[in-house]
C-alpha cells in the first residue's frame, strides 16, 4: 500500500466515523440547550478532552512544533505558558462558572457576561460581545481550515481551494447534524489521537537524533539565549513575558469554557480537571520535543509549520506515516467545529434575544453555522497568513475582551453594565490596534497591555465606579 492510499483509506474511514457520530448525536439534539450545550450533561472524559482539543488543535500540532524547530530551546517557554492557562481554567474558573451558569440558566458565555435578562445595558453588551466573537473566530476557524487544506493539498496533490473545501465540508456536516454533542464526542476522539501522536512521533524522532545525549549535543545548549535572537536583556525579558502572556488568554475563550457550563455535576468536574491537565502535559511537551528533535536532525531545511508532516514522512514507513498524517489531519479540525458552534450561538442566541425577541430555532442556527463555515473558508484562501500569527491574534482578541470581565464576575464583583461594556471594548480594540503595529519581542505588548487595561476597567480603576 502506498502512502497516498494509506492516507486516503484512513481519512475515508475516520471521516465516516465522524459523520456516524453526527447522526447519532442528532437523535440527542431536541432543543437549543441540547444543540449549544449538550443539555448540561457532559461527563468528565468528554468535557476534559473536548475542551482541551478545542483550545489546541492546529496551533499546537503544527505551530508549537514549528516554533520549537525555528527558535530552538527558547520555545520551551511555551510549555509553562500553556500549562498556566490550563491550571487557571480548570482549578479556578471551571468550578465557579459551572455552578453560576447552572443557576443563571445561560447557555453562552457572552449571555452569562451580559447579566440577567432585566439587567440595564444587557443588549449593548450582547451586541458588542457577539460582534467580537464573530470577527475573531472567523480568523481562528480560517487558521484551522488553512491547516487542513495544507495537509490535504500535500497528501493528494490537490489545488489549495479544493483542499480547504474538503476539510471545511466534513466539519460542517457533522456539526450541522449533531450540534454540541457531535462536536464534543468527535473532539474527544480527535484529542485522544493528538495525545497518541504526541507520544509516538516525538519518541521516534528522539531515537533518530541519538537519544537525549544526541539531542543535547545537536542543540548546543551552552550557547542558548532566553529569546530566539541574541538580543539585549530587555528584548529577552519582553520575549519571555509575551510568551507567558499566552496563558492569560485561556479564561476568555468561549469555545473552551462552554464545556465547564455543560458539565453535569461537581464530581465530573473534579475528574475532568485531572484528565485535562494530564492531556496538556503530554501534548505540549510532545510537540516541543518533536520540534527540537527535528531541529537537530534537519536544521534549516524544513518549513516550520510542516515539521510534523515532514518528520513523519522521513522517519516512518510510508504506510504508517500515511495513517499518522491522516489521523493528525482529522485532529486539526477539532477546534473549527467548536468555534463554528460558538459563533452561531452568538448570532442566534445572543443577538436573537435583543429587542425582546425570542431566540431563533434550530433551523436558523444551522443556517448560521453553514454561512460562517463558508466565510471562514473564504478567508483562509483570500487572506494568507501563518497559522501561528492568525490563531494568536484571535486568541488574544477574545481573551482580552472577555477574560478580565469573567474573572470579576466569578469573584462576585460584577461591574456595572457601562464598565462591563467598556472592559470588553477596551480589551478587543487594544488587541486589534497593537496587532497592526510593529511587533515587540515576543509580542508582549499585544498579549499583556490589552488584558491589563481591560482588567483595570472592569475593576473600576480606570473608569468611574458604577453600581453593579
Per-residue pLDDT tens for 156-180? Answer: 777 888 888 887 887 777 667 656 6
Return phi, psi of residue 333, to 5°: -80, 0
Q: What is the 3-state secondary structure (H, E, C) of 170-205?
A: HHHHHHHHHHHHHHHHHHHHHHHHHHHHHHHHHHHH
Domain membership of residue 41 as a residue range: 3-383
Lowest-pLDDT choice from 245-249, 285-289, 355-359: 355-359
The highest-confidence range among 32-36, 187-191, 398-402, by mean pLDDT, is: 398-402
Angle at the Cα of 190 from the Cα atoms of 187 and 195, rounded to 5 degrees? 125
Alpha carbons within 13 A on the beta-carbon side of 322 = 17
Q: What is the mean pLDDT of residues 243-264?
A: 87
What is residue 465's predicted lDDT score, i.e. its pLDDT? Answer: 43
Instruction: Judge whether 449 lies within some domain.
Output: no
What is residue 191's predicted lDDT score, i.e. its pLDDT? Answer: 86
What is residue 96's predicted lDDT score, i.e. its pLDDT? Answer: 95
What is residue 35's predicted lDDT score, i.e. its pLDDT? Answer: 61
For 210-306, where are the alpha helices, taking DSSP H only?
A: 211-219, 233-244, 254-262, 266-298
Handedness of CA 319, 325, 329, 331 (dihedral sign): positive
Task: Give the number of other CB atoms < 10 A from CB of residue 217.
Answer: 12
Instruction: Judge whether 192 lies within some domain.
Output: yes
The highest-confidence range among 23-37, 228-242, 325-339, 426-440, by mean pLDDT, is: 426-440
pTM of the full predicted structure? Answer: 0.86
- Residue 234, classified by CB atoms within 10 Å of its CB into exposed (0-12), middle (13-18) or buried (19+), is exposed
What is residue 267's predicted lDDT score, i.e. its pLDDT? Answer: 87
What is residue 266's predicted lDDT score, i.e. its pLDDT? Answer: 85
Contact 417, 122 (CB under 8 A): yes
Record the cell numbers describing residue 70, joined without a space: 525555528
- Looking at per-residue pLDDT, the higher value among 148 and 232 belongs to 148
Instruction: Judge whether 410 lies within some domain.
Output: no
Under the banding of pLDDT at 50, 70 and 90, the label for residue 327 is low
Asked if the model's pLDDT at residue 466 lies above 60, the reply is no
What is residue 208's predicted lDDT score, i.e. its pLDDT? Answer: 96
**Residues near 135 by Cβ (< 8 Å), separated by ≥ 6?**
397
Number of structural domains the chain divides into: 1
Asked if the model's pLDDT at residue 69 lies above 80, the reply is yes
What is residue 272's predicted lDDT score, i.e. its pLDDT? Answer: 94
Average pLDDT, the chain: 82
The domain that holds 299 is classified in CATH as 1.20.1730.10
How far from 372 is each of 336, 364, 381, 446, CA to CA, in Å? 11, 12, 14, 26
What is residue 5's predicted lDDT score, i.e. its pLDDT? Answer: 74
Contact 457, 420 (CB under 8 A): no
Return phi, psi of residue 42, to 5°: -70, 135
DSSP letters of 310-354? HHHHHHS-HHHHHHHHHHHHHHHTHHHHHHHHHHHHIIIIIGGGG
What is residue 222's predicted lDDT score, i.e. its pLDDT? Answer: 64
Asked if the model's pLDDT at residue 335 lies above 50, the reply is yes
Q: What is the mean pLDDT of residues 246-260?
A: 88
Contact 103, 416 (CB under 8 A): no
Asked if the model's pLDDT at residue 464 lies above 70, the reply is no
Contact 404, 248 (CB under 8 A): no
Record the cell numbers describing residue 198, joined without a space: 504526541
What is residue 224's predicted lDDT score, i.e. its pLDDT? Answer: 63
What is residue 468's predicted lDDT score, i.e. its pLDDT? Answer: 40
Instruction: Judge whether 17 lies within some domain.
Output: yes
pLDDT digits (tens, 9 = 90+) for 342-385: 777 777 777 766 555 555 556 776 788 888 889 988 988 887 77
Q: What is the mean pLDDT of residues 36-57?
A: 77
pLDDT digits (tens, 9 = 90+) for 74-111: 999 999 999 999 999 999 999 999 999 888 888 788 88
Indicate the angle between helix axes 94-104 and 387-410, nearest 10 degrees. 70
Task: Give the number of other CB atoms < 10 A from CB of residue 68.
Answer: 26
What is residue 450's predicted lDDT score, i.e. its pLDDT? Answer: 95
Instruction: Judge whether 405 lies within some domain.
Output: no
Amino acid at each position: 500500500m502506498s502512502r497516498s492510499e494509506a492516507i486516503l483509506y484512513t481519512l475515508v474511514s475516520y471521516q465516516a466515523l465522524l459523520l456516524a457520530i453526527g447522526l447519532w448525536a442528532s437523535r440527542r439534539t431536541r432543543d437549543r440547550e441540547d444543540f449549544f450545550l449538550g443539555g448540561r450533561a457532559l461527563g468528565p472524559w468528554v468535557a476534559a478532552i473536548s475542551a482541551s482539543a478545542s483550545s489546541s488543535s492546529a496551533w499546537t500540532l503544527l505551530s508549537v512544533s514549528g516554533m520549537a524547530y525555528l527558535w530552538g530551546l527558547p520555545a520551551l517557554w511555551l510549555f509553562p505558558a500553556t500549562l498556566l492557562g490550563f491550571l487557571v481554567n480548570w482549578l479556578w474558573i471551571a468550578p465557579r462558572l459551572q455552578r453560576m451558569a447552572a443557576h443563571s440558566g445561560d447557555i453562552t458565555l457572552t449571555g452569562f457576561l451580559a447579566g440577567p435578562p432585566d439587567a440595564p445595558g444587557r443588549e449593548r453588551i450582547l451586541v458588542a460581545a457577539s460582534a467580537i466573537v464573530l470577527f475573531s473566530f472567523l480568523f481562528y476557524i480560517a487558521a484551522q481550515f488553512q491547516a487542513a487544506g495544507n495537509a490535504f493539498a500535500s497528501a493528494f496533490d490537490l489545488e489549495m481551494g479544493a483542499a480547504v473545501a474538503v476539510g471545511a465540508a466534513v466539519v460542517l456536516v457533522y456539526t450541522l447534524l449533531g450540534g454540541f454533542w457531535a462536536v464534543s464526542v468527535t473532539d474527544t476522539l480527535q484529542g485522544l489521537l493528538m495525545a497518541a501522536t504526541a507520544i509516538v512521533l516525538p519518541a521516534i524522532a528522539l531515537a533518530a537524533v541519538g537519544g537525549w545525549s544526541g539531542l543535547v549535543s545537536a542543540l548546543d545548549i551552552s550557547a542558548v539565549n532566553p529569546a530566539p535572537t541574541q538580543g539585549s536583556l530587555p528584548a529577552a525579558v519582553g520575549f519571555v513575558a509575551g510568551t507567558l502572556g499566552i496563558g492569560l488568554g485561556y479564561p476568555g475563550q468561549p469555545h473552551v469554557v462552554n464545556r465547564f457550563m455543560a458539565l453535569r455535576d461537581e464530581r465530573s468536574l473534579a475528574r475532568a480537571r485531572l484528565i485535562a491537565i494530564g492531556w496538556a502535559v503530554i501534548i505540549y511537551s510532545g510537540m516541543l520535543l518533536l520540534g527540537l528533535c527535528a531541529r537537530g536532525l534537519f536544521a534549516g531545511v524544513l518549513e516550520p509549520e510542516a515539521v510534523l508532516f515532514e518528520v513523519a514522512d522521513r522517519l516512518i514507513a510510508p504506510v504508517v506515516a500515511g495513517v499518522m498524517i491522516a489521523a493528525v489531519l482529522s485532529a486539526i479540525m477539532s477546534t473549527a467545529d467548536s468555534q463554528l458552534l460558538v459563533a452561531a450561538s452568538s448570532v442566534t442566541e445572543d443577538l436573537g434575544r435583543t429587542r425582546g425577541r425570542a431566540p431563533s430555532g434550530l433551523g436558523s442556527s444551522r443556517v448560521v453555522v453553514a454561512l460562517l463555515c463558508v466565510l471562514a473558508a473564504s478567508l483562509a484562501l483570500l487572506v494568507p497568513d501563518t497559522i501561528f500569527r492568525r490563531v494568536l491574534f484571535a486568541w488574544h482578541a477574545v481573551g482580552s475582551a472577555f477574560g478580565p470581565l469573567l474573572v470579576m464576575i466569578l469573584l462576585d464583583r460584577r461591574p456595572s453594565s457601562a464598565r462591563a461594556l467598556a472592559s470588553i471594548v477596551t480589551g478587543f480594540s487594544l488587541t486589534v490596534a497593537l496587532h497592526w503595529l510593529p511587533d515587540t519581542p515576543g509580542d508582549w505588548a499585544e498579549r499583556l497591555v490589552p488584558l491589563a487595561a481591560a482588567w483595570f476597567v472592569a475593576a473600576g480603576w480606570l473608569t468611574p465606579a458604577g453600581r453593579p
